[in-house]
Chains A and B, each alone.
Chain A
Amino acid sequence: PRIPWDPPPSPHPFPGVFPFQDIRNTVGNIPMEWYQDFPHIGYDLDGKRIYKPLRSKDELDLFLEKMENPEYWRTVQDRQTGADVALSDEQLELVRRLQRGHFGDVNFDPYEPSVDFFSHEVRIHPVTNRPADKRSFIPSLVEKEKVSKLVHAIKMGWIQPRKPKENVPTFYDLWAREDPNSVLGRHKMHVPAPKLPLPGHAESYNPPPEFLLTPEEKLAWEQQEPAERRLSFIPQKFPSLRAVPAYSRFIHERFERCLDLYLCPRQRKMRVNVDPEDLIPKLPRPRDLQPFPTTQALIYRGHSSLVRTLSVSPSGQWLVSGSDDGTVRFWEVSTARCLRTIPVGSVVKSVAWNPNPSICLVAVAVDEQVLLVNPGLGDRLLVAATDQLLDSWEAPEEERIQPVRWIPASPEERGKGIRLLVQHSKPVMQVPWHGKGDYWASVVRNPGSRQVLIHQSSRRWSQDPFRKSPGMIQCVQFHPLRPYFLVASQRSVRIYNLLRQELTKKLQSNCQWISSMAVHPGGDNVICGSYDSKLAWFDLDLSTRPYRLLR
């Protein structure tokens, strides 16, 4: 196939220099590197390969040629043919001119004086021969239209001349007619921005030496967060005023102040300005509160283990105490003499002396039993009357089902003073008496039902006052005057009216776990102790919340 004759632009740098050279290589204007790996360098007009000329010269040959060939320096390789070409003198001259940045053509003069076609001189003849248009002689319609529009707009008052700038003084007496009372409502609530704190001695350029930081303090200052630092700068000392440099954070500080001014919420804070001594409450002096026990008078020795409980007889003459060593001891209060010891065989949880002065009876809670003990102390008549009262019971005709068993004491026990045993199903924790001395209650550690029982000792009769249990019951008390029954569960104290059989009040103790409870003999005040070392003092007349919480 014939390739159409299309002389490719020669990659040779000087295409015009070889006018007679037939361009045999037909590959065109392509990067010659594409033929690097081939033995040929392109194709001739007939489509035959043009082979690269043999280049078997090694370094030595090159060197020899360099030395021997006087034309070597002007020899160039034609990349299209691969042949070496020695440049002629004209070509060399051209190369030099181009290197110097001159025109290639020797004859071209770049600095010819220019001849203006249109000159500033007025010629007698026009440049063009074209006659002037007609429109250059008659007034323009378009312009007329525009002008008339403007004239119309001015006539109609649509366009007005620009107002001259008013020359109002920028500053004048703004507060000339100020009225001190005309404060806006908004400004009543206005909180003015607090002023910046004034600088102290430490900020001086020449502070007293004690205000300079020691190296350790400086280190600590550097390690602190910028917000935590007490001083926002390191105090420095300069020997003279001319040595003081500009403060690098000045703009920062102004900027932070600006931010504070418009981004910080403002609030009126009442500064508590009190003398700390005024805060301390004035307590009555302890001397004014006397009499209270100041010295130890008596020690009741005899128990060999922990004393858990004690109770004083209503006459105040006797004291009964129960202890972990399994005994109940009776003491005379004034002499600390142990009058009687009753071994009961197990840990005594609670003892309670009958509050009725005409009955000499003590309830003792031991394990699952409650013993009613007649200590036989004091007036013989009283003792005898008590025994008689207990023995006067006659079994009713029909046996009623009772939650507990009443067992009369055996003669042996009777010798010890025990008169009755009340057998419960679970360990008994507490036995409080009613004020009249006939009824008593017992608290049984029996999660679920039947935690409280009320007993009547003269009739040997027990009953469960609650249908369902109000939680874990810690302790119970009889109200000393009214027919109330106080039940302390874990968090609260409930007061039941025994006559009406209903809940009267519920006292919230605000404690974690009530441990004990006591009622004032007047009947108005209740105090509750708790395991988290608090005392809740209730006034029943006031509210169901503690009147005061003592720690």
Chain B
Amino acid sequence: RRLCILKGIYPHEPKHKKKVNKGSTAPRTFYLLKDIKFLLHEPIVNKFREYKVFVRKLRKAYGKSEWGTVERLKDNKPTYKLDHIVKERYPTFVDALRDLDDALSMCFLFSTFPRTGKCHVQTIQLCRRLAVEFQNYVIASRSLRKVFLSIKGIYYQAEVLGQPITWITPYAFAHDHPTDVDYRVMATFTEFYTTLLGFVNFRLYQSLNLLYPPKIDSQAEDELKPAEGKEYAMDSESYLERLSALSASLARAVAPTHEDEVEMDEFPVEGETAELMDAKKKEQEALEKHKKLFEGLRFFLSREVPREPLAFVIRCFGGQVSWDKSLCIGATYEATDPSITHHIIDRPRLDKQVVGRYYLQPQWVFDSVNAKLCLPVADYFPGVLLPPHLSPFVTEKEGDYVPPEKLKLLALQRGENPEEESEEEEEEEEEEEEGDNDKEEEEEDESEKEEEMKLQKMEEQKMEEQKTQSNKVLPVKVTAGKVRVEDKQRLEQEQQSEEKRLAIMMMKKREKYLYKKIMFGKKRKIREANKLAEKRKAHDAALKEQKKKNKKARQA
């Protein structure tokens, strides 16, 4: 099993389950014979055997309390390496990057485990180190793209060599370790993942001309030292801590040559490709802009906000960040520094406010990153009811439900700033806007409703019209022409639907099944979207009433 995990062998679903299983249909897992033979040839199998023997000898020596033997055995502890397996599983570097999601999530999870119990301390330390190294790389390369605060943890998405890498970190709380989880399996996975991540980190650092293992830039180090004092010895532990503080830039193996700006080589291009190139160029510019989102801004983190994710995100987009000196090492400036532009705070209110900086809730940072622009700060003042935090991973297709906040955001991105007016007007405007949005949605929804439904409606309408007409007009005598024209339309539609029905009837069985399934899925999607829209409408209505009541109460 351990071998399967390390080698990435997975079971296969046989084509003829009954034949393979000798007639019975009981659920069993099937591996390819080829895979198992492949496992047998693995040199690491022998290492595993050696290790098993070692453990047996050690136990025996302990049992006989022959401490000399124990010492000797421990000295000769057999070790194994997974390098060749990594190389074999990921023949190219891009393959490895593609599979990095799980490795990162696992490492970040293990690095938050307590140092006791569940698994070896070395593993946890290694995980922590690798995770910090990767974070530092992301900062140095500014490759973070999206952040999402979910109830499960924080999702990050970085783009490394064109591969999107998504990972999740848990919130920094102690875990209550579940009993029905086999930690040995997780540890085996982690063993492989740490090896993989180590090599990937090495390669990534190399690609940026950074030293590996990472060193803090000497300039920054000099800056840091006086502030830090002499309490911290320069042992490895505190060095790692400093690294994990993420505040200092890393030393480069080769001195940076004045920010060699990546300029795309201009080729003489013709017609169509020129447009493509233009689009690409625009994209590139937008990306550059996104990377420098927080450039020149100085942040200060209050002690109640989660330091690590915020510092990571802010540093990723070029901002400078500091925190209370007693909170963690690596603080670069004090809270009283007048050059601070944004103060991230998560309390209902603050007693002493310094003039000249924004006091903001942490969600502003994440929302700004996702929106690719610095959002207006008014919604994020401390104590204010926050606007919803939307997932940046969702790209709405046609027919999906789009929350109104997203629409607003899109409008902002397009550069249509809502006019700044007095508060009440703004409120009204907002309401109106929302109303408009709702209407639009409704229209969309209607357009997407089933044709038959529409037809039925039309028919009903027409029937009603006819009825009313006939009721009204009977004594007046109507010319028959009008009715006929309408009839024609209706007939046409009827005929079309009839044709469609016939055609559906004539489909092959398999295709009909497929068609029905697709249509069912579509209908369900529409239904869900409608449901969400309705809920939103009800909620907004309730909110409005509440506001009105409040106003009345205030007036009275």
Contact = CB atoms under 8 A, between A and B. Distances in A.
A180 to B, nearest CB: 5
Contacts of B75: 162
Interface residues of A, number: 74
A281 B509 CA distance: 12
B101 A195 contact: yes
A262 B405 contact: no
**How big is the B interface, by class?**
35 or more
B277 interface: no
A238 B506 CA distance: 54
Contacts of B267: none
Given A178-B91, A199-B150, A265 B29 contact: yes
A210 B539 contact: yes
B181 A252 contact: yes
B472 interface: no
Interface string B1-35: 10011001111110000000000000001100010
A74 interface: no
B149 interface: yes
B198 A170 contact: yes
B532 A180 contact: no
A136 interface: no
A283 B150 contact: no
A254 B176 CA distance: 14
User: Among A170, A179, A252, A282, which residue has the most Cβ atoms of chain B within 10 A?
Assistant: A170
Describe A's contact surface by its main secondary structure: loop
B240 interface: no
B212 A281 contact: no
B51 interface: no
Contact of A240 (B90, B181, B346): B346
A211 B515 CA distance: 30
Given A276-B518, A279-B511, A281-B507, A172 B102 contact: no
Interface stretch (B135-143, B250-258, B316-324, B389-397): B389-397
Contacts of B62: none
B261 interface: no
Contacts of A264: 10-11
Contact of A175 (B96, B175, B394): B96
Nearest to A258: B189
Nearest to B12: A265
B393 A199 contact: yes
Contact of B166 (A198, A236, A258, A282): A198
Interface string B187-210: 001000000001101110010000
Nearest to A257: B102
Contacts of A214: 535
A233 B151 CA distance: 9
B148 interface: yes
Given A208-B403, A209-B539, A195 B166 contact: yes
Contact of A255 (B98, B181, B514): B181
A459 B126 CA distance: 108
Given A170-B198, A195-B166, A248 B515 contact: no
B186 interface: yes
Contacts of B394: 198, 200-201
Contacts of A457: none
A221 to B, nearest CB: 15
A241 interface: yes
Interface in A189-226: 191-193, 195-196, 198-201, 203-211, 214
B7 to A, nearest CB: 10
Contacts of B38: 186
B175 A251 contact: yes
Contacts of B504: 280
B149 A208 contact: no
User: Among A203, A241, A285, which residue has the most Cβ atoms of chain B within 10 A?
Assistant: A241
B109 interface: yes
A253 interface: yes
Interface in A280-303: 280-283, 285-286
Contact of A246 (B8, B173, B391): B173
B519 A276 contact: yes
Given A171-B201, A246-B170, A204 B148 contact: yes
22 contacts: A175-B90, A175-B203, A191-B10, A193-B10, A198-B393, A200-B391, A201-B394, A203-B150, A203-B152, A203-B391, A204-B149, A238-B151, A239-B386, A242-B346, A246-B170, A247-B152, A250-B109, A262-B1, A276-B515, A280-B503, A280-B515, A283-B503
Closest 9 CB pairs of A and B: A246-B173, A198-B393, A210-B536, A210-B535, A203-B150, A265-B13, A208-B388, A171-B198, A206-B389
Given A241-B346, A276-B515, A279-B515, 13 more contacts: A171-B198, A179-B91, A195-B101, A195-B166, A199-B150, A200-B391, A207-B389, A208-B405, A250-B153, A262-B1, A263-B29, A280-B515, A282-B503
Interface of A: 162, 170-175, 178-180, 182-184, 186-187, 191-193, 195-196, 198-201, 203-211, 214, 233, 235-236, 238-242, 244-255, 257-259, 261-267, 272, 274, 276, 279-283, 285-286
